Amino acid sequence: MKVVISYPPLDTSKGIPLLSQNRQFQYFKRPTYIYPVVPATAATLLKQSGYEVIWNDCIAEGWSLDRFYDFIAKEKPDVVAFETKTPVIQEHWRIINALKRLETADWRPLTVLFGDHVTALPEESFQNSQVDYVLTGGDYDFLLLNLCKIINGPQSHQATKPQTEKLEPGVYYRDNGEIRNTGKFQLNHDLDTLPAIDRDLTKWRLYAYENGNYRRTPGTYIMSGRDCWWAKCSFCSWPTLYNKFRGRSVENVLDEIGILIDKYGVREIMDDSGSFPIGEWLRGFCEGMIKRGYNRKVNLDCNMRFGALTEDDYRLMKKAGFRLMLFGIESANQATLDRINKNVLVGEIMDSCKLARKCGLYPHITIMFGYPWEAYEDALKTVNMGKWLLKKGYAYTMQATVVIPYPGSPLFEECLQNGWLKTRDWSSFDMKAPVMKSPIPDEKIMELVQSLYGVALNPEFIFNRLMSVSDFSDVSFFFRSLPRVFGHIFDFKHKPKRCAQCSGN
């Protein structure tokens, strides 16, 4: 049985689509490719179970649609599976329908979708495309293996009904024209049972260099947990996939890091758990990094929440090899932080950034604009806080975006209740323009986003960045990041929206 795990080609007229390993979809002007941990785990699980697996990231490899279709027709896989998100779901429907037109008398590929959008709206894809299966929830690596075992079983036929009673919860499928499912997905899999990802199979080097957060390359991604131990922020799309947190054991994660260092020569690792585990787990992990000597061989980056760590924690993380700490500010207004359920105080934002820098770590801050309840003066408070943190050197790097209400998130439900949505055309949920009504005009929201990237030209910011230089890697990182900063300014340049039918896919 042959399985293709793919990221099919997408419309690049807007830029490079950041689909893989992303909670917030964007298009970038500069190439940026992020290693997709769970799809890569799915590929590894399938290969380990004896299936022929082909990894096919057409976005990272720059394939055209024609080349993709020719490849599928030549390989004739039994299953084609890919991750999807809200802004590209319509493109994926068209691709699925085109794949169905490639069928022959003796070959009918089964198509499988997974991701946060289809978890929130699983039946929609059956109504708008000829997709065969939708895997809901975040453990779609386990579900894809389960599905392949069923459709490849002795009493199954690849084009007809599987033994649905043996499918795990969370699978949607067609049965004589009816959309059926196996119930609500369950996050009850033991993450420590997963094999070490086969990074060669999944072409990890495609993602090892074109990433603006890497100070040293090659770099790669791991996940110590799925996904965030807070998981209550109302705007986030991934609690749709992971409604509870599960972590791997300290030793299991350390073993993976050892493989990345010894086998692949990785120099920087981003742990993309929604929030990195804290408490005793964190301290045991840091002590393990030091004991094994990995802290001298690799830098670590992670997502973290404001107010979650003490000064002792930060110092231990620095000693263990941590470098970049990704914090979500989202807004400098306490009313907004409360409304989006961040569970953080504005004062904790300032204190955590200062404390992390004091201990030698580098905060990366994320900020969003376009909340329906914020006035222009409220947004300016956020701009001013972000600029101040960057200019003073308390934040090292920054990402500013437009807030998008993804289906499945509490913010999306709030939009439906309050009539805030300006469109239900999913292709517009791409951060190129706000999709929620706001007292601030769209062009002003985009100007606010752009204004934060302009801090890169501020003399005080440049001085503090230069003062933070400790070796050639810092110098190289500084100059590599400049083109990306200017690229982000154009990423958020306001343009009138084109209709989906005119997008030239």
Residue 196 domain-assigned? no
Q: Among 425, 450, 475, which residue terminates a domain?
A: 450
Whole-Å CA distances, 28 to 18, 50, 57, 454, 455 = 7, 37, 17, 17, 19
Q: Is the peptide bond before 162 cis (omega within 30 degrees of 0)?
A: no
Q: In the chain, how many domains are there? A: 2
Residues 261 and 342 in one domain: yes
Residue 82: beta bridge partners?
A: 113
Q: Among 429, 450, 471, which residue terminates a domain?
A: 450
CATH number at residue 164: 3.40.50.280
Residues 263 and 142 in one domain: no
Residue 495 domain-assigned? no
Q: Which amino acid is at 271?
A: D
Residues 242 and 372 in one domain: yes
Tell me how far apart the alpha carbons of residues 183 and 172 are, in angstroms, rounded to a whole number.
8
Residues 256 and 131 in one domain: no
Residues 380 and 247 in one domain: yes
Residues 118 and 250 in one domain: no
| pLDDT given at position 230 | 98
CATH number at residue 294: 3.20.20.70
Residue with tokens 């400790």: 470
| pLDDT given at position 159 | 40
Residue 132 domain-assigned? yes
Q: Among 136, 163, 181, which residue terminates a domain?
A: 181
What's the distance, CA 342 to chain centroid?
19
| pLDDT given at position 348 | 97
Residues 372 and 255 in one domain: yes
The answer to whether 356 and 350 have CB atoms below 8 angstroms apart is: no
Tell me how far apart the alpha carbons of residues 425 and 340 are, in angstroms, rounded to a whole number.
24
What is the domain extent for residue 122? 2-181
Residue 152: beta bridge partners?
A: none
A 10 A CB-CB count for 62 gives: 12
Residues 170 and 233 in one domain: no
| pLDDT given at position 444 | 97
Q: Which amino acid is at 307?
A: G
At residue 267's C-alpha, the angle toward residues 262 and 269, to 5°, is 100
Residues 101 and 240 in one domain: no
Residues 226 and 284 in one domain: yes
The whole-model pTM stands at: 0.92
Full pLDDT tens readout for the chain, 505 residues: 999 999 999 988 999 999 999 999 999 988 899 999 999 999 999 999 999 999 999 999 999 999 999 999 999 999 999 999 999 999 999 999 999 999 999 999 999 999 999 999 999 999 999 999 999 999 999 999 999 999 986 545 444 455 788 999 999 999 999 999 999 999 999 999 999 999 999 999 999 999 988 999 999 999 999 999 999 999 999 999 999 999 999 999 999 999 999 999 999 999 999 999 999 999 999 999 999 999 999 999 999 999 999 999 999 999 999 999 999 999 999 999 999 999 999 999 999 999 999 999 999 999 999 999 999 999 999 999 999 999 999 999 999 999 999 999 999 999 999 999 999 999 999 999 999 999 999 999 999 999 998 888 788 888 877 777 777 666 666 656 656 554 554 555 655 444 333 333 3
Residue 302 domain-assigned? yes
| pLDDT given at position 380 | 98
Residue 496 domain-assigned? no
- What tokens appear for 390 in the block? 């960057």
Residue 481: beta bridge partners?
A: none
Residues 303 and 395 in one domain: yes
Residues 8 and 150 in one domain: yes
- What tokens appear for 210 in the block? 């074109």
| pLDDT given at position 141 | 98
| pLDDT given at position 459 | 85
SS3 18: strand
| pLDDT given at position 456 | 81
| pLDDT given at position 474 | 65
Residue 484 domain-assigned? no
A 10 A CB-CB count for 105 gives: 5
Residue 393 domain-assigned? yes
Residue 259 domain-assigned? yes
